[in-house]
């Protein structure tokens, strides 16, 4: 299965910010046990870039790196065998660089102009960010007919309450959410709770 198929079959893209190597193993085990072997590690903390390599031990996890803003971060993600990259906005430079390195990049967009610019560079799966602040479900509905060939992964403010409304849209393949792996539970090393929450979320986020 290719990466986009994995993301669209999971429908949930959990986001996490890790700050130490020791967090990688229990997190990966929780993801596997919960049957959601997919993760976007965000680069919101400067320590995270140095722990990416640890994911090499878990090739069964579809591991991506988000919050990418530089080519250096792309290099580090590739060195760690990341399977995909996510940028919060659209950058032609980052798009070209990722494509020259043969790695999937999913750029963030909000406006029609950004969608057109990203699509011109060959992207037809885009992160819609920040989803809730940027117009939410209604905005994506209005993109359905105008950009009928574009699929979105709404991220930013996604919760158990609003996720089902996004996932009902034909142009949404998955939602991304840090709420699936709350940073409080990472800090307190509550790995069993994370596993339970991920398992429970598969039912709660995907309900119709
Ligand atoms: C991101 O890093 O992509 C977003 O900030 C995630 O938004 P959330 O924390 O509201 O899920």
Closest atom, ligand 1, to C-alpha of 108 = 3
Cα-to-centroid distance, 196 and ligand 1 (Å):
21
Q: Could you tell me which residues are beta bridge partners of residue 36?
A: none
What's the confidence (pLDDT) of residue 1?
Answer: 75
147 has a pLDDT exceeding 60: yes
Output the residue whose Cα is nearest ligand 1's atom 7.
156
The model's pLDDT over 96-142, given as tens digits with 9 standing for 90+, comes to 999 999 999 999 999 999 999 999 999 999 999 999 999 999 999 99
Q: State the closest ligand 1 atom to the C-alpha of 179, by its place in the atom list counted from 1.
A: 11
Is there an atom of ligand 1 within 6 Å of 155 CB?
A: yes
pLDDT-derived band at 206, boundaries 50, 70, 90: confident
Who contacts 144 (Cβ-Cβ below 8 Å, separation ≥6)?
169, 170, 171
Cα torsion angle, 106, 182, 17, 5, sign: negative
**Which candidate, 87, 83, 50, places its Cα nearest to that of 64?**
83
* pLDDT band per the 50, 70, 90 thresholds, residue 208: low
Task: Check pocket membership of 105 for ligand 1, CB cut-off 6 A.
Answer: no
Task: Please state, for a pLDDT cut of 70, what percent of the chain lies above it.
Answer: 100
State whether the beta carbon of 158 lies less than 6 angstroms from ligand 1.
yes
- Quote the pLDDT of residue 207: 72
Give the position, in ligand 1's atom list, of the atom nearest the Cα of 42: 2
| 19, 153, 184 from 172: Cα distances, Å | 30, 6, 28
Ligand 1 centroid from CA 66, angstroms = 10
d(CA 55, CA 155): 23
What separation in Å is there between the alpha carbon of 97 and the centre of ligand 1?
A: 24
């Amino acid at each position: 299965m290719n990466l986009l198929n994995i993301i669209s079959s999971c429908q949930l893209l959990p986001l996490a910010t890790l700050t130490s190597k020791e967090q990688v193993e229990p997190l990966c085990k929780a993801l596997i046990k919960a049957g959601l072997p997919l993760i976007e590690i965000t680069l919101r903390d400067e320590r995270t870039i140095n722990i990416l390599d640890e994911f090499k031990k878990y090739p069964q996890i579809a591991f991506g790196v988000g919050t990418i803003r530089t080519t250096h971060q792309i290099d580090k993600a590739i060195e760690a065998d990341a399977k995909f990259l996510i940028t919060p906005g659209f950058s032609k430079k980052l798009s070209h660089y990722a494509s020259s390195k043969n790695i999937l990049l999913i750029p963030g967009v909000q406006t029609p102009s950004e969608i057109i610019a990203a699509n011109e560079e060959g992207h037809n799966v885009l992160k819609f960010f920040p989803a809730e602040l940027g117009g939410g479900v209604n905005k994506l509905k209005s993109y359905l007919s105008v950009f009928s060939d574009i699929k979105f992964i709404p991220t930013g403010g996604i919760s158990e309450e609003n996720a089902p409304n996004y996932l009902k849209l034909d142009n949404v393949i998955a939602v991304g959410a840090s709420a699936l792996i709350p940073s409080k539970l990472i800090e307190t090393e509550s790995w069993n709770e994370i596993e339970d929450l991920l398992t429970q979320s598969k039912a709660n986020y995907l309900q119709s």
